[in-house]
Amino acid sequence: MDKMRFSYKLTDYLHFARMAARSRRRQCVWGKLYEDSIRNQSFKLPVATVVQLIPTEACNLRCPFCNQWGENGYFFDGVRPVQHMDQESLIKFMRGLSPRDSLISVHGGEPFVYKHIDTLLELLREQQFDVIFTTNGTLLKPRLEQLAKIRNLMFLLSIDGDEPAHDRVRGKGTFKKALDSMAELFDLRRRIGVPLPAVIISSTVCEWTTDTLEKIYDVARDFNALAINYNFRWFLTEDVGKAYERHLEHAFGLKSSGAWRGWTSANHEKHDYSRVAESLSQVMTRKRRFTRPFVFTTPSQLRGSDYKTYFTDYLDTFGAESCFMPFYWARVHANGELIFCPGHPDIIAGNVFRDGFMESFNSDVSIKFRKHILTNRFPICNRCCGLYMTNPARPFEQKARKNLGLPKQVTTHWPEARP
């Protein structure tokens, strides 16, 4: 196929700029709602700025670092049953959301394993949501026609190296399936006059990908991707997990599901992370500021030696002190449960199918959580995506905290205070 046919054009960039402006507006509105909810002591917000759907926890792959289906994945421990979201409940739920208020993130498991994915794609098209799919890209092919009709579309496409390296991590043939489907989708959207999707190649920086980090830059070009996200592995240790269990019991009277074990890694202590730092520093030297693929890391504030420190010093949170996820977003699992902490399904705010979305988002549990998290962190928070992926909204949170006279620092509960 002719590669240039798929390149982004000015109209695509303008389309992305409008999506980014809408995101920015939602974050700005959120900052005021956040501040008001604390000032008036209701701790309630009228909208969730990001709604993350887990239409199914099932997945067709078994990536070793994955907290769900990896070597210590919590689905193997039977912490949760694998489910598919009920179709009627999904329809009712989605029609109650507004694209003006909420960005929709579709996650999993693998979202395209969901047995009612056609219904979900139609609902996303119907209201023209701003949508971001996190996907391994292997099951897109039968859904390309529907994906072509979702106008405001972004992909966090999980690619963990060049073809041999990616296939070693994710399985034989997985790279090619993702590449072919994306090329076809670009072609289809061009033909029907819909802007191209914003494709961000997301690579998990970890023990399994250290040797291939530099190659991602060329891979992103093959995919015609807009950007690369070097997504640092979220992790914790046994000590941290146990301290979290004690904290959860003490502060909330809850017993942990044990899902935190999905974030532990046997190889972690032994791995040489200086190579991660070297490789990423090379990429950063090579990348161009104003030319695709744009390169960023999550956490976005990491620079130079931080690429290593991230893995070797659990206490360093690179200036991110407070978590505001319970005020900002809502993750809805296949069974309707609403949680705030990704990968830690322990504090259940409610069930949106049984209790309603706003009732769950502003339940007594949610309010208790929000009050707590305003001045505390859990031991597990230091390497949880929740502390960092909200960075674009961070300036609004910091401004509100300042206006409210709240300190930047919170009580971390790790290391635990010894009597």
Ligand X SMILES: C[S@@+](CC[C@H](N)C(=O)[O-])C[C@H]1O[C@@H](n2cnc3c(N)ncnc32)[C@H](O)[C@@H]1O
Name the nearest CA neighbour of 150 among 178, 119, 173, 128.
128
Which CB sits closer to ligand X, 68 or 256?
68
Regarding 260 and contact with ligand SF4 (CB under 6 A), the answer is no
Name the nearest CA neighbour of 112 among 170, 64, 155.
155
DSSP H or E run through 181: helix 174-192
User: Is residue 410 within 8 Å of 261, Cβ to Cβ?
Assistant: no
Regarding 323 and contact with ligand SF4 (CB under 6 A), the answer is yes
CA distance 387 to 406: 17
Regarding 259 and contact with ligand SF4 (CB under 6 A), the answer is no
- Shortest spacing between CB 284 and ligand X, in angstroms: 20
> With CB under 6 A, what is the number of residues at the site for ligand SF4?
23
Regarding 360 and contact with ligand SF4 (CB under 6 A), the answer is no
Contact with ligand SF4 (CB under 6 A) among 236, 325, 352, 393: 325
CA distance 363 to 357: 10
Residues that bind ligand X (CB under 6 A): 59, 65-68, 107-108, 110, 134-136, 158, 202, 204, 231, 233-234
Part of the chain binding ligand SF4 (CB under 6 A), chosen from 34-42, 56-64, 141-149, 205-213: 56-64
Name the nearest CA neighbour of 389 among 12, 81, 27, 83.
27
Regarding 380 and contact with ligand SF4 (CB under 6 A), the answer is yes
Query: Can you spell out the DSSP letters for 270-308?
Result: G--THHHHHHHHHHHHH--TTSSSEEEEESTT--TTHHH
Which CB sits closer to ligand SF4, 59 or 277?
59
- Shortest spacing between CB 229 and ligand SF4, in angstroms: 14
Three-class SS state of 160? coil
- Shortest spacing between CB 79 and ligand SF4, in angstroms: 15
Which partner, ligand SF4, ligand X, none, binds residue 380 by CB below 5 to 8 Å per kind? ligand SF4
Question: What region does 258 belong to: left with phi over 0, alpha with psi -120 to 50, or beta?
Answer: left
State yes or no: cis peptide before 345, omega within 30 of 0: no
- Shortest spacing between CB 337 and ligand X, in angstroms: 17
Regarding 61 and contact with ligand SF4 (CB under 6 A), the answer is yes
Strands of the 153-158 sheet, one edge to the other: 294-298, 227-232, 198-205, 153-158, 131-135, 103-106, 50-53, 329-332, 337-339, 350-351
Regarding 108 and contact with ligand SF4 (CB under 6 A), the answer is yes
Q: Which residue is nearest to ligand X (CB)?
A: 158
- Shortest spacing between CB 109 and ligand SF4, in angstroms: 5
Regarding 365 and contact with ligand SF4 (CB under 6 A), the answer is no
Regarding 340 and contact with ligand SF4 (CB under 6 A), the answer is yes
Which partner, ligand X, ligand SF4, none, binds residue 299 by CB below 5 to 8 Å per kind? none
- Shortest spacing between CB 327 and ligand X, in angstroms: 23
How far is residue 198 from each of residues 101, 112, 228, measured CA to CA in Å?
21, 18, 11
Q: Residue 192 forms beta bridges with which residues?
A: none
Regarding 387 and contact with ligand SF4 (CB under 6 A), the answer is yes
